[in-house]
Chains A and B, each alone.
Chain A
Amino acid sequence: MIDHIELTLEKELGAFNRILPTLDQFIQRHDLQDRLAYALRLVLEELFLNLIKYSKAGQRSNQAWVSIALRSEDTLITIEDDGPPFDPTMEAIDPVKPRNLAEARPGGVGLALVRHMTAGLHYERRGERNHLEARLMRDGA
């Protein structure tokens, strides 16, 4: 592994602000290609939004654990939370493309974008936690 960062975040929209400076430093430190930098940002944002969307009241905690590992061949984003079981890979289908504005619906495209930007998306329930891995190739393809 070349580099690795870990963050513990509240599952709240405002908490995403805490990821961004760390992510920017990570991107600059390794001079990541533009497309990989874009994909990292997009995948983190969409998966974090998804966590918030499916968070439910009464969970043991309101926290999520995020890590980004830069490896020789790829970059691995791991997100864990202790919410109810939820497999976002089952949701990440291609969006229905609208034929016109009347058919267009804001939202519902985030996980499809994640699938497009990643080389692999893997979910498993580990004990009491949802464990999600998104793998991005070094060139962002």
Chain B
Amino acid sequence: MEIQETPRADGITQLALIGKLDIVGLHAVDIKFHGYTAARRRHAIVDLSRLEFIASLGIGMIYSCSKSMERHKVRMVLVNPPATIDEVLRLTGIDQAMPIVKTMKEAESILAGETFEAQA
């Protein structure tokens, strides 16, 4: 399990979660993910397209960091989860608490204060 950061000029943190976010994977990235998101206090886009597995512990990590970010008036947006991961995330209702979108452009629109519907 690893986290890749793609540097951006607009101040948004862009990350990709890669691999299996299971008990072992969580142990490998938990502190690092917190550092990139909650501790940094900037908007974050998290690309899930190469995430192979997530369960309750990984969802808890995302919730926890996202809640911490909200307290500092910044947001996290999740992008392009594979089908089964999307299904698992939505089952927990996380999509009602934070945005899950298909494309990077949609994520950028949300963080720019525009709604996806307004762009469509």
Contact = CB atoms under 8 A, between A and B. Distances in A.
Interface stretch (B38-46, B88-96, B101-109): B88-96
Contacts of B31: none
Contact of A20 (B24, B60, B93, B97): B24
Interface SS of B by simple majority: helix
B84 A106 contact: no
Interface residues of A, number: 31
Contacts, number: 82
Residue of A100, A101, A108, A113 with most chain B CB atoms under a 10 A cut-off: A101
B53 interface: yes
B63 A104 contact: yes
Interface in B4-44: 20, 22-24
A45 B59 CA distance: 13
Interface of A: 13, 16-17, 20, 34-35, 38, 41-42, 45-46, 49, 95-110, 112-113, 116
